[in-house]
Amino acid sequence: MPVLSATLNVMVGAVRKAARQVRRDFNEVEQLQVSRKGAADFVTQSDVATEKVLREELTKARPDFGFVLEEGGIVAGKDAEHRWHIDPIDGTTNFIHGVPHFCISVGLERAGTVIAGVIYNPVTDELYHAERGKGAFLNERRLRVSGRRDMAESLFATGLNLGPTGNPPLFYAQYEAITKVSAGIRRFGSAALDLAYVAAGRYEGFWEIGLNSWDTAAGIVLVREAGGQVSDLGGGGDVLGHAGIVAGNQEIHPQLLRALKAVKA
């Protein structure tokens, strides 16, 4: 059983407390108030309430840290180096349709580098956690990325961002190109869980255009601590920005990156 650091204990405790609200709301999803933020982008009462619990719990433990919140925006902290990146429900569209594929995602950034992450699906009770230099875990099991080396045998995940940071024409062209050289592509609607699945070896790779840091922060450290690689779509290190993200094992990541770079919309 992995021994959690003080930081991860705080994160796991906050996520598990927030998950109680999410479970209750998922069981009564027809009663939830839902608002539309943009194309295929929704927010529920549960998103807001869950984010509030997470912010309160994390502030109790680390009062000087800042926040990057999906619903609440950027909140500066006295400690300028540390920020929590929080997605209270990653996969809200699944959530409001009763599809049990969504998660709570919390990542901790220190001076531009993600140093810890927790991703939790409260329906399946799968809790992924990682800390820089200490490995990645699913509940109590150590994670390693897949060992496959051939794109033709590899399963990939992706997502379509219809918001202002997305690029649907490029996405469709990428989707077609990767479909032709892979074993398949899955689009399940939760980038955080997609990254967690790469860390767990369920997918060989993942890419998406124009995500936000709350979508990816926790997953980035999970993939890296499980032995994988993460970059932006240009092959650089802007993984918390809007430059797209590519993740995979050590063999597949560079192949996937080359294939995506070759696509022109």
Are 14 and 124 in the same domain?
yes
* Domain termination residue (choose one: 142, 164, 191): 142
* Domain termination residue (choose one: 102, 120, 142): 142
> Predicted confidence band at 15 (pLDDT cuts at 50, 70, 90)?
very high
> Considering its fold, how many domains does the chain have in total?
2
Burial grade of 197 (CB within 10 A; 0-12, 13-18, 19 or more): buried
Are 16 and 105 in the same domain?
yes
Cβ pair 127, 75 in contact under 8 A:
no
Residue 150 in this model has a pLDDT that exceeds 50: yes
Are 124 and 244 in the same domain?
no
Least confident of 38-47, 99-108, 247-256: 38-47
Q: What is the pLDDT of residue 155?
A: 98
Are 134 and 175 in the same domain?
no
As a whole number, mean pLDDT of residues 174-180 equals 97
Are 251 and 175 in the same domain?
yes
Residue 1 lies in a domain: no
Are 166 and 231 in the same domain?
yes
**CATH number of the domain that 251 lies in?**
3.40.190.80
Residues 176 and 165: their CA atoms lie apart, in Å, by 21
Residue 74 in this model has a pLDDT that exceeds 50: yes
Residue 88 lies in a domain: yes
Q: What is the pLDDT of residue 114?
A: 97
Residue-range definition of the domain harbouring residue 221: 151-261
Cβ pair 106, 117 in contact under 8 A:
yes
Are 117 and 159 in the same domain?
no
Residue 241 lies in a domain: yes
As a whole number, mean pLDDT of residues 210-228 equals 97
Are 188 and 253 in the same domain?
yes
As a whole number, mean pLDDT of residues 118-145 equals 97
> Predicted confidence band at 165 (pLDDT cuts at 50, 70, 90)?
confident
Are 28 and 137 in the same domain?
yes
Residue 128 lies in a domain: yes
**CATH number of the domain that 17 lies in?**
3.30.540.10
The per-residue pLDDT of the chain, averaged, comes to 93
As a whole number, mean pLDDT of residues 135-149 equals 97
Residues 55 and 66: their CA atoms lie apart, in Å, by 10
Residue 209 lies in a domain: yes
70-76 long-range contacts, Cβ below 8 Å, gap at least 24? Answer: 70/212, 70/214, 71/43, 71/47
Are 100 and 191 in the same domain?
no
Render 155-172 in DSSP notation, one character per residue. EEEE----STT--HHHHH
Q: What is the pLDDT of residue 72?
A: 83
Q: Which residue has the higher pLDDT, 75 or 3?
A: 75
Q: What is the pLDDT of residue 32?
A: 66
Residue 39 in this model has a pLDDT that exceeds 50: no
Beta strands in the chain (DSSP E): 34-38, 41-44, 65-69, 73-75, 79-90, 103-110, 113-121, 126-131, 136-138, 141-142, 155-158, 184-186, 205-208, 229-231, 245-248
Are 169 and 134 in the same domain?
no
Are 167 and 52 in the same domain?
no
* Domain termination residue (choose one: 142, 171, 196): 142
Residues 162 and 70: their CA atoms lie apart, in Å, by 16
Residues 8 and 199: their CA atoms lie apart, in Å, by 18
Residue 178 in this model has a pLDDT that exceeds 70: yes
Residue 14 lies in a domain: yes
